[in-house]
Amino acid sequence: TNRLLETCDAGWLAALRGEVPAGRTPIFVVGMPRSGSTLVEQVVASTNVVSLIGESTLFPWCLLELGERRYGNVSYADLMARLTRDDITELRRAYLQGVAEQTEDEGPFLDKQLTNHRYVPVLAL
């Protein structure tokens, strides 16, 4: 984890942050079980503006698939060190395409997969 912290610093974020295309906006709820995440989800859902995709495992699978296809069987820290802007663009496209297959709404959506806390550096991009 120290290597991951050293890799995913402000410089890493700046180097990989590209222009975010217009489109659906994800809202990620991450954390620990029994921490109030369902209440957060219910409050957000009550706005009737945000779609819910539940505790989707879509993002980790998209990241795993991209990593294996481009870089082979590497650790998460190694993958983070190798990511490019093109990778981030492809990851975003694959994830949003998967979300589109789950919900027909076109506005913002909430992904409440608590274990996504592992991916916060790349989720920020």
pLDDT digits (tens, 9 = 90+) for 74-114: 999 999 999 999 999 999 999 999 999 988 788 899 999 99
Other Cβ atoms less than 10 A from the Cβ of 2: the count is 7
Classified as helix, coil or strand, 48 is coil
Alpha helices by DSSP H, listed for the chain, are 2-7, 10-16, 37-45, 58-71, 76-82, 85-102, 120-123
**pLDDT at residue 23, rounded to an integer:** 76
pTM of the model: 0.89
Q: Is the confidence at residue 50, as pLDDT, over 80? A: yes
**pLDDT at residue 21, rounded to an integer:** 73
Query: Bridge-partner residues for 111, per DSSP?
Result: 28
Query: Bridge-partner residues for 121, per DSSP?
Result: none
Q: Which two tokens stand for residue 81?
A: 């060190």
Classified as helix, coil or strand, 60 is helix
Looking at per-residue confidence, does 113 or 4 come out higher?
113
- Residues 54-92 as b or e (16 or more Cβ within 10 Å = b): eebebbeebbeebbeeeeeeeebbebbbebeeebbbbbb
Lowest mean pLDDT among 27-31, 61-65, 92-96, 100-104: 100-104
**pLDDT at residue 114, rounded to an integer:** 92
Give the pairing type, strands 109-111 and 26-28.
parallel
